[in-house]
Amino acid sequence: MHARVSLFCGAILLFLMTFLLIPCAGAQPQSPTGSEAEAQTQPTGEAGFKKANQEAIKKLRRMSPEEIKALDEKLAEALILYYDRKFARALPIFKEIAGKVETMDIMFWVGTSAMKVGETQLAIQNFKKMLAIDPKLHRVRLELATTYFTTGKYDEARQELEVVQAASPPPGVQKNIARLLAAIEERTKKVFYNLRLSQGVLWDDNISAGPEQKELAVVGGTLTLDTESAKLRDEGAVTNVAGNVLYDIGEKNGLMWNTAASFYNLAYFDHGQFNYMTMDLTTGPWWADRRDILKIPFGYKEQEYGSNRLAYTFHVDPNYEYYFNQYFSLKGLYSYNYTDYYASENSVLNNDKHRFELTPNFYLLNRRHILSATAGYENCNADASRFSYDGPYYTFSYFAGFPTSTELFLQYQWFRREYNGKPTLYNDYRVDERRSFTAVLSQGFLKYFFASFAFGYTDNDSNCKLYTFDRTTYTASVGCRF
């Protein structure tokens, strides 16, 4: 390979010296691979090359054989590096040669090497210089469009692509143009949305979150629970709807506005008094940059329990995530909630809640595997001290996406809550420790549809045994997403 490159370099200089002017070799690299080979088009405008290379020929004729030989050796070295994809080392050599003899080939090699190493202005300068000489160099125009795309100049990139498209290039080139135009359309979109709906059946072995035992020791004797207060089993229908609309206000990686809504409804088949429904609507600004994103959502939530309105909540949840590299980010969150219960007998539950979180995230194998670990602290101030608490919590989660459209989500959470008051029927201040585990397996099919199976387990251990319980759920669902 290297020997062929050296012979090729010598041939270029020999042809120039003997006035055998050839079309731009840079417009068709000698060893194209992959998409580069697909994108090639036949260069035209030989007269333009002759005119452009006249100055180079004059310079070569003034050189001694030793100088030409040295130049030939540098060109061979640069091209060996170029075809070995060592563009950062090839570029300064190409630039040195261009300072002495600049042909259309050298312009192209300087331009493509500069594009590969991120010197986009130099790449644009060389490609535009070539197109000024011969506007029909479609391969060069495609390289210019690609460079514009990488620098975020989408209008300029689209304009260059449309010029090539109008020339009816080969099918392989048209396919590449269509892909890049689609990417430009995606990058320049102002409105993004997604919607997810699912319907499922839930099996729940403890719908009341009640203790295993019906008789509990309390202050003054024994408390006997009725059937609906102890551990109770039932099945139910689960409906989930969630979606959001994101509007890009300014330039890419700038100010955006996101609005999200969710609806969850659980209707038990036999014990409707435990039915639960919640609706949440949030909106707020986002600020996204190349390496970080700031979100300030604020929202309103409604809850129903049984057939009655339970409570409403106002909340604001600012969070900031910084991406150190493609594999690691750190996210911080502060959340404030104010909840007010509708029924006067539940007014003692009215509360405001503060939550603080710090979450490192690890992104592996092209973000198909995500590991997260959250450390948090929660403080709840209710109207009655026996419902006020504070304490730490930890969450560990793992997400995996597979090429088969299969997704797996695993999560473990632990928290401790120390209450500020003694609950009714107890002389001790209540302390709870809860451990929960969630696993969800989802399989996509027919592009927009999916089926999922979820397992959930919760173990709540309390020094006040009325609040000690365990709960296991299984949920099978089908749905669609857009």
Closest CA to 25 of 51, 43, 4: 43
Round to whole Å and give the CA distance between 459 and 413: 11
Other CB atoms within a 10 A radius of the CB of residue 190 amount to 10
- pLDDT digits 0-9 by tens, 105-152: 888 999 999 999 999 999 999 999 999 988 888 889 999 999 999 888
Residues in Cβ contact with 150 at an 8 Å cutoff, skipping those fewer than 6 apart: 115, 120
Other CB atoms within a 10 A radius of the CB of residue 443 amount to 14
Q: What is the pLDDT of residue 38?
A: 35
Question: Would you say the CATH fold of 192-481 matches that of 2-188?
Answer: no
pTM: 0.70
Round to whole Å and give the CA distance between 433 and 416: 5
Q: What is the pLDDT of residue 203?
A: 98
Contact status, residue 450 vs residue 481, Cβ threshold 8 Å:
yes
Residue range 2-188, CATH number: 1.25.40.10
Structural domain spans, the chain: 2-188, 192-481
Query: H or E element: which one contains 301?
Result: strand 298-305
Round to whole Å and give the CA distance between 312 and 354: 16
DSSP string for 196-264: EEEEEEEEES-TT---S-SEEEETTEEEE--TTTS---EEEEEEEEEEEEEEE-SSSSSEEEEEEEEEE
Q: What is the pLDDT of residue 52?
A: 61
Round to whole Å and give the CA distance between 104 and 107: 5
Q: What is the pLDDT of residue 20?
A: 34
Other CB atoms within a 10 A radius of the CB of residue 442 amount to 19
Contact status, residue 140 vs residue 132, Cβ threshold 8 Å:
no
Round to whole Å and give the CA distance between 356 and 376: 5
Query: H or E element: which one contains 298?
Result: strand 298-305
Q: Which CATH class is domain 192-481?
A: mainly beta
Contact status, residue 109 vs residue 27, Cβ threshold 8 Å:
no
All residue ranges of the chain with pLDDT < 70 are 1-54, 251-253
Round to whole Å and give the CA distance between 425 and 218: 6
Round to whole Å and give the CA distance between 62 and 52: 17
